[in-house]
Amino acid sequence: MPQVVLVNPQIPPNTGNIARTCAATGTELHLVGPLGFEISDRYLKRAGLDYWPYVKLNYHETLEDFKTVHQQRGGRCLGFSVRGSSNYAQFQFQDNDWLLFGSETTGLPPTALSACDTTLYIPMAQPNVRSLNLSVSVAVSLFEARRQLGYLQ
């Protein structure tokens, strides 16, 4: 099953909402530091409600720490960016994909982007809108991957 990776997330409620989505879908969630908040942040916990016990949460202090785990476990790293090269809806997801998302303010750092097997974007009709909310982007892409892989039965 695809996994969600948040690299340097900054806004606790976004991460909490993503954690709730991961809990609901049984998706593993990886947080890559530095984070813009403490894991114990009340806004993070509030957004995740009482679902935290159901989140398969992994914390990696650095991007290098995450890369080590990724190499051990295998699979493709798919970086999501407004400047991605492929439309996520036309991309063929695989069961062992890692869906990488950057911080709300800066996106994926260049070192994370360069480690990705490919970069994807979510098309938006209005060119004056810079990006979608991080938790929306994660949900849209995770559910498309799950749909393609037959997990929405």
Q: Which residues carry a binding-site annotation?
A: 102, 122, 131
Binding site membership for S-adenosyl-L-methionine: which residues?
Answer: 102, 122, 131
DSSP collapsed to 3 states, the chain: CCEEEEECCCCHHHHHHHHHHHHHHCCEEEEECCCCCCCCCHHHHHHHHHHHHHCEEEEECCHHHHHHHHHHHCCCEEEECCCCCEEHHHCCCCCCCEEEECECCCECCHHHHHCCCEEEECCCCCCCCCCCCHHHHHHHHHHHHHHHCCCCC
Question: Shortest CA distance to 113 belongs to which of 128, 100, 126?
Answer: 100
